[in-house]
Structure 1
């Protein structure tokens, strides 16, 4: 079944490679992916999808392939880019610039590989549409915007994704990363962390730097908060659990001899279980408010949570079943287990919404031989990873591997091998 679908990849490969390079050359920021969305919708229509919809959840695109009686399987790819200036030197490197949500002009790059994700799903959709005699069931093809903001999946659901289209029995997704091209990696259970962000404004009382006794210094207050937050993971999270607390932004003041009225902090946390997530969130709020009180602040701090993404759980039984099919296709040496990743992904929101399994895997995008050598020599941290200005997957075998993985996983589920 799967091999009959994959058989058409050879004649599609060059065209798909050019499509990928075009996407890479013309990246678009989250919720601004209008050109990309139009191209994706056009490809789905050209492939012969039974239904194609644009503008789902803002700029999302949905295609449906209906082919008789059988399971409904959802394949998802994201397609937004990042405010990063590309430094790969590739002939198809991005030189794009755009205005971000804060009104700033920024460079734009597909630094996380979402262009590869989208191209692979277009390839899989095209192959399935051309080989309808080889499978039965329904494929829900979801191209999701705004993954980098953690709002794209929820936006599509709130816009009626599962009311307007068939409800899937399983959600399949994949992510390219700094692994050897041609290899697939996986985990079972929590595979990517929950992410929560908050903005904190601390209120002091400003004044002249020569008269600190007449002020309540929010800079000192902020510094104490930053220092104290480092103890949350070290002293409050059990050693058997994992969590990260990062203060990525601290802004205050305009001049060295002026104590300002306010200080602002941008804080991000990562966790894998609801218990640890709640513990860390509560600890941060407690520390922020306690430090303000200890400093004599005359006004409570503002704490604004935003951008919450739950932990991505690759359902163990379903994952084992799909990985067995991928192993049979690619061979054992190209399938590797992977520990949990501290980065986050909102694809799990789809499965959580319907209470159906999500299966998620990673595949490699870097030149195989030097990447394997770097891992063996303990230099993996020196490889260009996702969000790096130097990250760009080699087109092949990355593209073919991603297409084949989607086809193998989908046909396995369409064949009725339920988790």
Structure 2
């Protein structure tokens, strides 16, 4: 697949560079006038998943300023749905996520977040836009403004959604459960993008099959029997048992999966005990499991349960004190519709120029709950793309011994918002105009 994409891009590269579309100038003007200030506001004031009260209110107010937009708030708790109708034609959904992360910002930016907030788990934490969702929602506004101004170039219905809780991979499900596809026009197509810190600004990339991996969050509670640290034989040490589980989990990847079949199991949290010389009576692990297909996803999740139970048996734990495994949230793989991706990748080349449309490569096993909008049983065809967020000069400096480009979810994370918003909104506008050009069919077979 990657060779096919590269061959297509090399062919396209032989053609003259594309001229910037006329609406890109207006997107840039909007950013210079007020959207840049709005990004600054969002970046200074991030909010945690399902706690995006101010963010959603601001987005709803801004969307209501767009002529013809019908806005509904509190869909899926804090989500916003805005509908723009322009006669008969396809229905296209455009999604942007808005939540921040429980991370203390150390980016050094002048508008670095100082916010603290209590999350849905009841824990107060520092909050940061450490994944770039602030650029996503600003780009959605830029796209909404352009589409409202370009009604002579398209027909149909646009559904803009401002989604909560992507970082908990729960917001998409919540909006669907709250009637996104029944109370509002159901789309034939769903589109979205994510900024990529590891990609150069001005460039975009979309796979013609898998775009992101699945992810399941799993809690493991390991009961023990408390005792004095000097008399371990008098108790059952949950730290020791949980440590055995941590080590054994990696065998699921290294010894039960084919070497060329990807999968990741990460133990992100390990908590037990309160004092040096006390064997506690419980340990808690927080684990993520990632895969690129549903069969592997099921195999790994079942393996976690098997290993936890096996460690309990190995340590002669009674039935009422066996480790407990709870899958608390998850998302399937995000798969782009292949014909749609080929079509819109060609639109990206025509709009941005072949040099700015690069082959998509998974550089990790990140996940996206955008997958729920385009599951096979929905009949909705999806196209999700990446937009570069780091200037070339920063990559050049890194190669010459300068600071490494921070990853997503890092307290050092920082991207350059202006080219992300302008490129993202330009690409999104181009894709939507192609799908909704006058005379376009409304059926899913298009």
Q: TM-score, normalised by structure 2?
A: 0.89
1:41–1:54 CA contact under 8 A, matched in 2: yes
3-state secondary structure, aligned to 1:285: helix
* Cα separation, 1, equivalents of 2:178 and 2:62: 23
Residue aligning to 1:8: 26
1:278 paired with 2:278, answer no
Q: Which of residues 339, 342, 351 in structure 1 aligns to 2:361?
A: 339
1:99 CA displacement: 1.3
CA distance change for structure 1 residues 234 and 131 in 2, over 3 Å: closer, same or farther? same
2:116–2:125 CA contact under 8 A, matched in 1: yes
Q: C-alpha deviations, 1:318-376, integer Å up to 9, x for none?
A: 111111100111111111112224111101101115122111110111122332564xx
1:4 CA displacement: 5.6
Residue aligning to 2:420: 398
Q: Which of residues 347, 362, 374 in structure 2 aligns to 1:351?
A: 374
CA distance change for structure 1 residues 260 and 7 in 2, over 3 Å: closer, same or farther? closer
1:4–1:131 CA contact under 8 A, matched in 2: no
1:243–1:269 CA contact under 8 A, matched in 2: yes
3-state secondary structure, aligned to 2:95: strand
Structure 1 segments, 4+ long, off by >6 Å, are 378-381
* Cα separation, 2, equivalents of 1:266 and 1:322: 39
Residue aligning to 2:343: 321
CA distance change for structure 1 residues 361 and 372 in 2, over 3 Å: closer, same or farther? farther
Residue aligning to 1:288: 308
1:316 CA displacement: 1.7
* Cα separation, 2, equivalents of 1:91 and 1:171: 35
1:201 paired with 2:221, answer yes
Q: Which of residues 166, 189, 195 in structure 1 aligns to 2:209?
A: 189
Structure 2, unpaired ranges of 5+: 1-19
Residue aligning to 1:268: 288
* Cα separation, 2, equivalents of 1:75 and 1:381: 35
Q: Which of residues 259, 270, 274 in structure 1 aligns to 2:279?
A: 259
1:379 CA displacement: 8.3
1:361 paired with 2:385, answer yes
* Cα separation, 2, equivalents of 1:132 and 1:235: 57
Q: Which of residues 389, 398, 407 in structure 1 aligns to 2:429?
A: 407
Aligned residues: 416
1:180–1:369 CA contact under 8 A, matched in 2: no
CA distance change for structure 1 residues 11 and 216 in 2, over 3 Å: closer, same or farther? closer
1:381 CA displacement: 10
* Cα separation, 1, equivalents of 2:86 and 2:219: 48
* Cα separation, 2, equivalents of 1:41 and 1:295: 55
Residue aligning to 2:254: 234
Q: Which of residues 372, 383, 405 in structure 2 aligns to 1:383?
A: 405
CA distance change for structure 1 residues 187 and 378 in 2, over 3 Å: closer, same or farther? farther
Matches within 5 A, 1:172-183: 172-178=191-197, 179-183=199-203
3-state secondary structure, aligned to 1:48: coil
* Cα separation, 2, equivalents of 1:144 and 1:395: 20
CA distance change for structure 1 residues 36 and 339 in 2, over 3 Å: closer, same or farther? same
Structure 1, unpaired ranges of 5+: none
3-state secondary structure, aligned to 2:65: helix
1:268 CA displacement: 1.0
Q: C-alpha deviations, 1:269-316, integer Å up to 9, x for none?
A: 110111111111111111100110110112222111111111111122
Q: TM-score, normalised by structure 1?
A: 0.95
* Cα separation, 2, equivalents of 1:286 and 1:241: 21
CA distance change for structure 1 residues 380 and 332 in 2, over 3 Å: closer, same or farther? farther
1:177–1:385 CA contact under 8 A, matched in 2: no
3-state secondary structure, aligned to 2:81: strand
